């Protein structure tokens, strides 16, 4: 789908921040996982003499769901005004959020993990009220810049809206895996 074309580096980076925590690397002195966390622009934790040897996205276990949502004011090839990647894991009965990762793009100088929002939802009943409360924490985590796609205030507000949509979509996908 052109809407989610994987070749765009920022789209991929937002999704990877939502779904990964380490990357395998190899060097003469170092071999092992690399912490995968957002940096400004295209910087990484790769040290001189090291190279990322592979990117492994593990398959989602049962009772997990993922969603990538973005708002584009113009065309599918435009940069997102706001983007959100969410991965959730549910309890056996699908009522409790056992694990969650929320990564946001285009609302700061790098991809942002909404760790406070994640902590607020983890281990809690995964209700619509909980989703609204957790999404309301996201604007405090982002630091958007005003540009022709929207003001910083608008992007902050939209980060809450799109996080809520992504959480609901990921929850429903996870619940479908229970059936």
User: Tens digits of per-residue pLDDT, 10-46?
Assistant: 455 555 655 555 444 444 455 566 555 555 455 566 6
Q: What's the DSSP call for residue 75?
A: -
Closest of 23, 31, 67 to residue 173, by C-alpha: 67
Q: What is the pLDDT confidence band of residue 5, given thresholds at 50, 70 and 90?
A: very low
Give me the torsion for CA of 17, 20, 21, 22, rounded to 10°.
-120
Reported confidence tier of residue 9, pLDDT bands at 50, 70, 90 = very low
Gap between the Cα atoms of 25 and 107, Å rounded = 29
Q: Give the pLDDT of residue 111.
A: 85
Residues 6+ apart with CB under 8 A from 7: none
Q: How many residues does the chain have?
A: 179
pLDDT band at 48 (very low <50, low <70, confident <90, very high): confident
């Amino acid at each position: 789908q052109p809407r989610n074309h994987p070749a765009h580096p920022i789209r991929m980076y937002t999704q990877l921040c939502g779904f990964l925590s380490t990357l395998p690397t190899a060097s003469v002195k170092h071999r092992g996982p690399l912490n995968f966390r957002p940096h400004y622009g295209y910087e990484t934790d790769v040290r001189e003499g090291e190279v990322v040897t592979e990117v492994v996205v593990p398959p989602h276990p049962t009772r997990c769901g993922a969603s990538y949502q973005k708002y584009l004011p113009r065309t599918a090839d435009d940069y997102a005004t706001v983007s959100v990647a969410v991965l959730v894991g549910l309890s056996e009965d699908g009522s409790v959020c056992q694990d969650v990762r929320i990564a946001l793009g285009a609302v700061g100088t790098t991809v942002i993990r909404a760790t406070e929002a994640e902590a607020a939802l983890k281990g809690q009943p995964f209700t619509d009220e909980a989703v609204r409360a957790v999404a309301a924490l996201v604007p405090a985590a982002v630091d958007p810049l005003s540009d022709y796609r929207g003001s910083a205030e608008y992007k902050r507000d939209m980060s809450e809206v799109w996080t809520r949509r992504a959480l609901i979509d990921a929850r429903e996908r996870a619940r479908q895996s229970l059936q």
